[in-house]
Amino acid sequence: MKQVLKINNLFVNVNDVSVIKNCSLSIAPGSVHVLMGPNGSGKSTLACALIGDPCCSVTSGDILFNGKNIKMLRPDERARLGLFCAFQHPCAIPGLTVFSFLKAAYNSRFATTVEVDQFRQILYEKMDVLGIDYLFAFRGVNEGFSGGEKKRLEILQLLVLNPRLAILDEIDSGLDIDALSVVANSLVKAQKENSDLSFLIITHRQNILQHLQPDHVHVFCNGSIVCSGGKEVVAAVERDGYEIFVS
């Protein structure tokens, strides 16, 4: 089976410090992978390296996306190929409405110039899927948003841009129980909209996994994957913590 993402023996430096060390991972279309690990283990750095953050320097290894080596591509070029990332702390952009922001992103992603009325129909259809009020589209991007609203905007972007792979970097961070349930259910709806959509969910908590059914769970410590499996890995982390994987 062709892999949507294949990481081969990846080494990444940040400010000349080795952070990612010999990381390899394969993700098939339509699958859900969870990357768990303690704070400071390099999970977010891996996400940044995959999307082409210029702060990350790939010193060795390859990143194959749909069979194409993308490690030399700019972030916008990777996004146009169908790579998406939802950030732990999305920034606010005062004065720019959600509608205008997503319309510009849609045009860039699909190399088109969609008319306002046509995009309104596209956006409202996706908002209906997530149960989001249309007035949300005319608020400033993340301006005065609650934690749950910020995460729902990230998922709305995901639906609008229709990527092949969505990297979700601690999308459960700062959410209460109710907001966490809403976000998790929205991810399930997103995959129902596109059965080929794959997820790489990065977290250091187990709460969101109570609402999702991951196909693979990986433990990430000291810059590399030290264990892979299924739900039994989550149970081991809940029981013994991460220390058992680095001892």
Pick from 51-55, 83-87, 180-184, 199-203: least confident: 180-184
Q: Give 211's DSSP letter.
A: T
CATH number at residue 17: 3.40.50.300
Within a domain: residue 79? Answer: yes
Within a domain: residue 31? Answer: yes
Longest CA span, the chain: 58
pLDDT per residue as tens digits for the range 26-73 = 999 999 999 998 888 899 999 999 999 999 999 999 999 999 999 999
pLDDT per residue as tens digits for the range 132-153 = 999 999 999 999 998 888 988 9
Within a domain: residue 240? Answer: yes
Within a domain: residue 137? Answer: no
Q: Strand (E) positions, 51-162?
A: 56-65, 68-69, 83-86, 93-97, 140-141
What is the reported pTM? 0.91
CA separation for the pair 70, 62 (Å, rounded): 8
Under the banding of pLDDT at 50, 70 and 90, the label for residue 1 is low
Looking at residues 177-204, what average pLDDT do you find? Answer: 84
Structure tokens at 217: 């769970």
Q: Strand (E) positions, the chain?
A: 5-14, 17-27, 32-36, 56-65, 68-69, 83-86, 93-97, 140-141, 165-169, 198-203, 216-221, 224-229
Q: What is the pLDDT of residue 247?
A: 58
183 to 18, 20, 216: CA distances (angstroms): 33, 29, 20
**Percent of the chain beyond pLDDT 70?**
99
Within a domain: residue 146? Answer: no
Other beta carbons within 10 angstroms of residue 167's beta carbon come to: 25
Q: What is the pLDDT of residue 161?
A: 95
Q: Which residues pair with 202 in a beta bridge?
A: 35, 169
pLDDT per residue as tens digits for the range 83-118 = 999 987 889 999 999 999 999 999 999 999 999 999
Within a domain: residue 233? Answer: yes
**What 3-state DSSP class applies to 195?**
coil
Within a domain: residue 134? Answer: no
Within a domain: residue 143? Answer: no
Range of the domain at 51: 5-90+164-246
Q: What are phi and psi of 145, to 5 degrees?
A: -75, 145
Domains of the chain: total: 1
The answer to whether 94 and 124 are in contact (CB under 8 A) is no
